[in-house]
Amino acid sequence: MFSEHSKEFLQKDRPMVSITRNVPLDVVDSLKRIASITEFPEYQELIKSYINEGLHRDKYRYSGISIARFIEALKQNGVSAIVIQQATQDLIES
């Protein structure tokens, strides 16, 4: 159900900090039900996984903005579209 990246994120030997948030009771109940039918022994681990999945997704989503700006800067500085396309393809394939 969850990616290998999420499982690595949940390793216990990473430095941690406690945070406190109020969450509606029905949300906690749902988390507990989902945790009971997944590989997560506790709903808190499921919450960590959800946070990690969203963070991982957004890191890629928002890093794309800077990549697009970088590509535009390359074009404005005379780098051909063919060279940019080949470099992009090489990056994707690696």
Each domain of the chain, given as residue ranges in start order, spans 23-93
The CA distance from 84 to 90, in Å, is 10
Is pTM beyond 0.75 here? Answer: no
Contact 2, 53 (CB under 8 A): yes
19: region left, alpha or beta (phi > 0 left; psi from -120 to 50 alpha): beta
Q: What is the pLDDT of residue 36?
A: 94
Mark the ranges of the chain whose per-residue pLDDT is less than 70: 1-11, 94
Q: What is the pLDDT of residue 84?
A: 93
Burial class (CB within 10 angstroms; exposed 0-12, middle 13-18, buried 19+) of 4: exposed
The CA distance from 85 to 49, in Å, is 35
